[in-house]
Amino acid sequence: MGASIPMQKDYIYIYHNFGTLIWPSCSNPFACLVLHYREGIEYDSQNPLRVFNVHPFMMFFGFIFLIGLAILSHQTVPGSHETRKIIHLTLHFIAIILGIVGLCAVFKFYDMVNWEDVTSLHSWIGIGTFCLVGLQWLMGLGFMLQGSAQSRSTMAPWHVAAGRALFFMAICAALTGLMEKYTMIKLVTHHRESHLINFTGLAILLFGVFVDMSVGLPRYA
């Protein structure tokens, strides 16, 4: 394919679109859902629903959003390659910590209501993705600290491909989680709340597609 390589401003353009358009359209319906319809958020509450809400909040604002930013940071942060790598690594580290808090919250919720843990497709995809993200982070750190320039450049395409696949899996985990919630509350809920869930899901999907494209497009040319 003989296309010319898209210029830097193309990524900036995609990034700005994502920042100004997609992120509020994810976060606003999500905030409405949790705060208006679903009791609010508190980790140390006696109300299981308030404990549960820590889970989607941490996974969505912490894990998915920060990992999206970490992926974009390689294209958008000014400065040296080293600076970008450190920002990429640090954002992932914060995302993983917030993800751990989110996972603890959902296990605590399941304990409080005496349900069986880790039975649904959502939980299988979510936990699988979380473990693989942790592994990928450790391998990235190992190569950054120990690897030779030769081994780093051999690993780079695999690291990028695996990272994109894991981000894709994280989006799938989020959507299956929203779908589970939607189906469970379908019979007793406001019509407006179910629309909010759908809009949140579509916005998360769009966020995933934009992040993926901003990494992918410059490499296709």
What the block records as the tokens of 217 is 């497009």
User: What residues have CB less than 8 Å from 182, skipping those under 6 apart?
Assistant: 194, 197, 198
Pairwise CA distance, residues 202 & 208, whole Å: 10
Q: Which of 17, 36, 43, 128 binds its own copies (CB under 8 A)?
A: 128
Examine residue 190 and tell whether it contacts its own copies (CB under 8 A).
no
Q: Which of 61, 104, 169, 189 binds its own copies (CB under 8 A)?
A: 169
Tally of CB atoms within 10 A around 184: 10
Examine residue 17 and tell whether it contacts its own copies (CB under 8 A).
no
Q: Which of 24, 117, 156, 190 binds its own copies (CB under 8 A)?
A: 156
Q: Which of 7, 165, 190, 192 binds its own copies (CB under 8 A)?
A: 165
Q: Following DSSP, what letter does each residue of 15-63 receive, concatenated?
A: HHHIIIIIHHHHHHHHHIIIIIIS----TT-SSHHHHHHHHHHIIIIII
Residues that bind its own copies (CB under 8 A): 1-4, 6, 119-122, 124-125, 128, 153-154, 156-158, 160-161, 164-165, 168-169, 171-172, 175-176, 178-180, 182-184, 186, 194, 197-198, 201-202, 205, 208-209, 212-213, 216-217, 219-221
